[in-house]
Amino acid sequence: MSRPFVRLSAIVVNFRRPELLRECLRSLATALERVEGATELVVVDNGSADGSNDLVRAEFPGATLVALERNRGFGGGVNAGLERSSGEFVLLLNNDATVEPEAIAELLGVAETAADVGSVAAQMRFADRPETINSAGIGIDRLGVAYHRLLGAPTSASEREPVEVFGASGGAALWRRSALESVGCFYEPFFVYLEDVDVAWRARMRGWRALYAPGAIVYHHHSATAVHASDFKYRWVGRNRLRLLARNADRRQLLRHAPAIVAYELAYVAYAARRDRTLAPLRGRLRGLREWRSARRSGAAGRRAVELAPRQGLGAALRRRRAWSGPS
């Protein structure tokens, strides 16, 4: 017997922080009630062992709980959720985010404006600075540096109507399931950080468009699980920065921009070493270099050039850092 048609599957990947998970799921339950058609909620727990699973069972009995024995990272958690869901559209939401009641319906409305829209980005705001934008979609420059559009800008700076962007932040993104499947879903070795940029880049290479829905409001507790500027984050971002380039940049881009890419990476490592007294960014990048060939092979299928933004530069990276940190 065939399964009933599900319009939307909401997938929340959780790793510890049950108090934030409760807020997330409460807001999500309210928002799903505003969606026309059948929906389902899937919570994937990455081996938290902190009571998160008991919370889901007790307070959200209608949710499908996927309790993983080990932490498979964000991408691995999403993939596990995809296997247990069937919606035509898939909402991905961080456990440290909450949604406005109309946000999901807004995302769906924008996604259904054209058949080639593969993903839709929400307007993410900092939970502790609700008048400041966390992300209005993601961009990638010609050096392969990913960034959040309008990061640190007031909400008044946002477009008022949907516009095309490079991709959607995994913190709050709506995906057409067929678009995710066309790129092989999430590449699990990323584990954490930049996996959403990787899947956005690969979707772009396959002709899928991404739109930004300014009316879909999400509040994000930034780096609630992994502390910003920690050695953990520095190491994984550095490693995945090289993986991202290896998997997605075409040969011409790498040859043309190699000197600028190397200069950018060295400057960033030097800044972190001086400012934060850490070599974690260097260690991460060295690990990424050792894995370059295998990462290059893993992304070979379908690789082609796509239009990227002009160079943002190290100055833009430092401005992003200040935006993450908030007012001093």
Q: Is 150 helix (H, G, I), strand (E, B) or coil?
A: coil
- Give yes or no: residues 177 and 84 share one domain: yes
- Give yes or no: residues 197 and 261 share one domain: no
- Give yes or no: residues 25 and 156 share one domain: yes
- Give yes or no: residues 179 and 312 share one domain: no
- Give yes or no: residues 181 and 259 share one domain: no
- Give yes or no: residues 156 and 131 share one domain: yes
Region 192-216: mean pLDDT is 97
Residue-level pLDDT at 318: 85
At 222, the pLDDT band (50, 70, 90 cuts) reads confident
Identify the weakest region by mean pLDDT among 219-233, 253-267, 279-293. Answer: 219-233
State pLDDT tens for residues 67-95: 999 999 999 999 999 999 999 999 999 99
Residue-level pLDDT at 153: 97
Whether 113 maps to a domain, the answer reads: yes
Cα distance between residue 10 and residue 23, in whole Å: 15
Whether 225 maps to a domain, the answer reads: no
Residue-level pLDDT at 313: 86
b/e code 3-30 from CB counts within 10 Å (16+ = b): eeebebbbbbbbbbbbebbbbbbebbeb
Residue-level pLDDT at 228: 65
Q: Write down the mean pLDDT value for the chain.
A: 95
Whether 226 maps to a domain, the answer reads: no
Domain count, the chain: 2
Answer whether 63's CB lies under 8 Å from 56's CB: yes
Domain boundary among 185, 220, 255: 220
- Give yes or no: residues 292 and 187 share one domain: no
- Give yes or no: residues 62 and 104 share one domain: yes
Residue-level pLDDT at 238: 97
Instruction: Give one word for 313, left, alpha or beta, with left for phi > 0 and alpha for psi -120 to 50.
Output: left
Whether 40 maps to a domain, the answer reads: yes
Kindly report the CATH number assigned to the domain that includes residue 209. 3.90.550.60
- For 36, the domain range is 8-220
- Give yes or no: residues 129 and 69 share one domain: yes
Residue-level pLDDT at 249: 97
State pLDDT tens for residues 40-73: 999 999 999 899 999 999 999 999 999 999 999 9
Cα distance between residue 190 and residue 193, in whole Å: 7
- Give yes or no: residues 116 and 16 share one domain: yes
- Give yes or no: residues 157 and 292 share one domain: no
* Nearest of 46, 92, 96, 45 to residue 72 by alpha carbon: 46
Residue 325 has pLDDT above 80, yes or no: no
For residue 74, with 0-12 CB atoms within 10 Å meaning exposed, 13-18 middle and 19 or more buried, which class applies? buried
Region 274-281: mean pLDDT is 95
Residue 296 has pLDDT above 80, yes or no: yes
Answer whether 177's CB lies under 8 Å from 99's CB: no
Residue 327 has pLDDT above 70, yes or no: no
- Give yes or no: residues 277 and 182 share one domain: no
Domain boundary among 176, 198, 220: 220
Cα distance between residue 193 and residue 268, in whole Å: 17
Whether 1 maps to a domain, the answer reads: no
State pLDDT tens for residues 223-263: 655 566 789 999 999 999 999 999 999 999 999 999 999 99
Predicted TM-score (pTM) of the model is 0.95
Residue-level pLDDT at 88: 98
At 299, the pLDDT band (50, 70, 90 cuts) reads very high
Whether 22 maps to a domain, the answer reads: yes
Domain boundary among 220, 254, 278: 220
